[in-house]
Amino acid sequence: MSSNNLSELFTTIIQPIVEAAVWQALKNNSNEVRLGASADKAFVSIKEAAAISGLGTSTIRLYIRKRQLQAQKVGRRVLIKRTDL
C-alpha cells in the first residue's frame, strides 16, 4: 500500500469525525453566547425567558396570564425578572 493511498484512507476515515466535532463545538459555543449575552440583565423578554427556562413562549405567556409568573409591562414590551424564572 503506497503512502498516498494510506493518506487518502486516513483522510476518508478522520474527516467526518473531525467535522462532527467541529459542528458540535460551534453549536455549544453559539448557545453559550446567546445565553451569556442576556445573563447580566435583570429583566428579560418573553422570548429570552423561554430560551432560558426551556419552555415555549406560549407557556410563558400562559403562566403570566394565570399569575404564576410575575411580569412588568413597559410600553408594548413584557419583561420578566430573571430571578423569577
Q: Are residues 23 and 52 in the same domain?
A: no
AA letter at 44: V
For 43-80, what is each residue's pLDDT tens digit?
Answer: 999 999 998 888 999 999 999 999 999 999 999 999 99
Report the domain count for the chain.
2
Compute the C-alpha angle 37/46/39, nearest 5°: 20
The answer on 51 and 85 residing in a single domain is: yes
Q: Which amino acid is at 17?
A: I
Residues 4 and 20 in one domain: yes
Q: Are residues 80 and 45 in the same domain?
A: yes
Q: What is the pLDDT of residue 31?
A: 54
Q: Are residues 7 and 45 in the same domain?
A: no
> In this structure, what C-alpha cell is assigned to residue 21?
466535532
Same domain, 50 and 28: no
Residue range 7-22: mean pLDDT, rounded: 85
Residues of the domain holding 17: 1-37
